[in-house]
Structure 1
Amino acid sequence: MLVQAWYLSNSKCHRFWGNPICVGIYTPIDLPIDGLDFFQSPSHVVFWLFSLMIATLQGLRFHWAKGIDDWLIPPESVVRALMVVAFYVVIGIESQYFIPSLELIVTFSRTATHWFLTWSMVFIGLLLGVQSVQILKQRKLLQKTAQLLGNMAEWRMGSHVVDTALNNPAGLAFQKCDRRILFMDIRGFTSWCEKTSPETVAEVLDEYYRCVEPAAAKFQPLIITFTGDEIMGIYATPQQGIAAAKSMSKAALEMLELYGIGAGCGVHCGSVIEGLFGGADVRTYTVIGDVVNTAKRL
């Protein structure tokens, strides 16, 4: 059971082959003791039968028929509950020195207490199955919401800030850092906007961002922000900052020359104050200092 639980706890495991591990280990251990009589024992038959039923249902859920969890989880829960009843029946009959047969099993199950036990377990299995479906739906919704919030946080502040917030919240406090600050903006953007429709301006800006961002992201920026036609990138090393500036300039100029405009880029290095700035409702992670001002003017 421990080996099976260890294997099934791995997210990459195959559920069909993982569920019979327990009975698969038990069989070769007990087979030399019982010989071929092993397969004549009803408890062993029940063990194998229910293990394969659960393995099949889990195989369908996780591998062969994904997306129908609502229909597979309740039957799987009922099968698990009925396994207890099946073991109880065959062991109860064997304890009275009878050889289990279909007739004895039916007779044994017809008594009031056994009938009550059987249908109670079916009912409990269904309830647990429905609860599992609800929990699964809630988990998927939470995962979807968390992913959306994570994406929105990264779009606003970048993956570096989000990772820091999750793993080292103290790292968001104001601190003096040695950073490489990069600024890029479109030259003549204001005068070009005056002669261009707002729809075209929005489309060009969007295309500009989509062309330049991959070039900036290639060199592991700590933060990238877009403000109008201005792009700011913060890098950890001079090599990253300069390489990013060259790559971003090339991408921007190739795209903007189609519209008769260009872009300027500047990089400056030095000490800045870095941290989470803002009020109670609106905050942003950024850097301030003379190095930032100089980079922007360059």
Structure 2
Amino acid sequence: MKKKLQSLGIAFALALIASGIGIATFYSQNPQLSRLADYIAHITVLAHSERIGLKNPGYGSPNNNLAMITLDDYSLSGHTSAGLGTWPFRRGVYGTLLDRLAKAGAKTVAFDIDFLDPSPSARQDAIFGKAIAKVPTVLAYALNTTTTGQIGIEPVIPVLAKNTAAMGFSSSDSVGSYTSGQFPKIRTSGSGFFSDQTFYSLAAAAAQTYLGHTIDFAKTPRLHGRILLLPPHYASTQAVSGRVGAEQSTAPTFIGGGQMSLADALTIPISQLRLFAKGRLVYVGATAQALGDFVITARGKMPGVYVNARLTDQMLRGIYIKTLPTWIDIALIVVLPLLFALFLMSARFAVALGVSAVTILAYAWINMALFVTHLLWFDFIHVLAAMILAVTFVAAFRTIVEGAQRRVVTNLFGMHVSPAVVAEILDSEDPSGALSLKGKRVKSTIFYSDIRGFTAMSETMSPEDIYNQLNEYFEEMVKIIFKYGGYVDKFIGDCVMAVFSAPYQTPDDTKNAVLAAIEQQQRIAELAAKWSAQGRKVFTVGMGINTGEVVMGNLGASSRMNYTVIGDNVNTAARLYNVAKGGQIIISETTFNEVKDLIEVTELEPVTVKGKVEPLRIFDVVVPTREVPTEVPTA
């Protein structure tokens, strides 16, 4: 038990190391950066969720309250019919666009374009500013940092700003070059011109203007103050216009009711534009490659206007990625590896590894399924890494420990019992514990055999002949002992001592010991006939068997130990084989009582043995001439 607790303690320590690595990476450097990979992993799975039959609430039907007009490559090509001219367009163009959108019934227009500096023509700015008053318009400004380290803005020029319904910063939040979300609003503090002010993002300002009321972002699911972005899909898109040959390409999918080129928005009939814009929030932004207004998201590179429009869509429909409190993620990183360690050290190794692998896959599936179907994000990569590391560490530790146990078992038993018995011990949950190395009292049957007249016979034989003949004899005897489940305790010169059985006891130990002795005598007779025909010396063997309680365990010095049995009943068996003549099997009364219905015996005169007050009843087993069973009888 003590060793088990020590091993379990080490396993827990290894699991905690794995958890520590997971926590360290969770908190490494920027807290947003440490979770970026986890965010990208979830968004990547989200992109393929429909292939595995999972539906996501963030990518269902389009939001028909949104539309988009793009400054695309077609618009930049300088179409005279639209009066665009060359880039940068005259600001009167945007005024014309607002006039048309007002007539088409647009509810709100949001420009994801900076108008921070006056244009070369004040008249153009005035035309644009006048048109802004005709439809609720949201313009973008830029955030910056003041010389005192405070957040400030680069405002929209006054001629445009005075008529706007709202303004907001267009920059999204980038972590590690990836746009993963956005602060919906920023509240400044301290002193200075921009102190104690609230700045809304362009997406938030557009959503609030369209809704006609402010959004309580304190109740909005966020991570470190940021609304997490659900990036648009990439798919084949077709611009909405009456123009033949309108662009069709693989691009981010606008989640709104439709999009069209600025050139088309300026030229199609108002009636058609009304179908596109009436009652909608219309975003206007750059998508042309030449304008370079692109950001990198977890779905790839896309125009910034798609990101702001998508964030507005999320706010309008209340579609948010929900995160768990950080302490829950940390708890998962710590608790799950500890549970793996406990299971890996308690169950069978192969089963534990299999269940661990299935559990890790199940966690991955549940984690991703909850994200896809409910937008519930709890940590994936760090928890998964901690679990895999814990399984790896603890499995390696258990392999080392069990390898050492296997070597102990093999060293103790490999030469003494059959391979089947060794395999059975090694397959146990605690191989070394199965041996009860400290010693235990058990009932066993002790077998001794000794060659009669061997000393005199060996005087006429060369050492080589002696060893060859003894080894041949021992080889045959050991096979029979193993066949009947016996344990070869030791060889004492030409004497064999065996135990039935060790380290495990069975109800048939006594019966198997006697049957093994009978078969050995029969095999000795066969060997004698062969040796005689070869002109070699022959011999007979006397055997003694006793059944009783013995002490079984590991005995010896720390440098060399043997698994053996000791006790008075062992000594009795030794006395009996000394009584036996060549060819005899002498058994004690306790042995006879357990096999009397199986064998024939002749009771001999009781014998007095050293250490016993009363003479012992002994029996000579009749060795039948018939063949003994080839299989070990079972209970």
Q: TM-score, normalised by structure 2?
A: 0.24
Larger Rg: 2
Higher share of residues assigned helix:
1
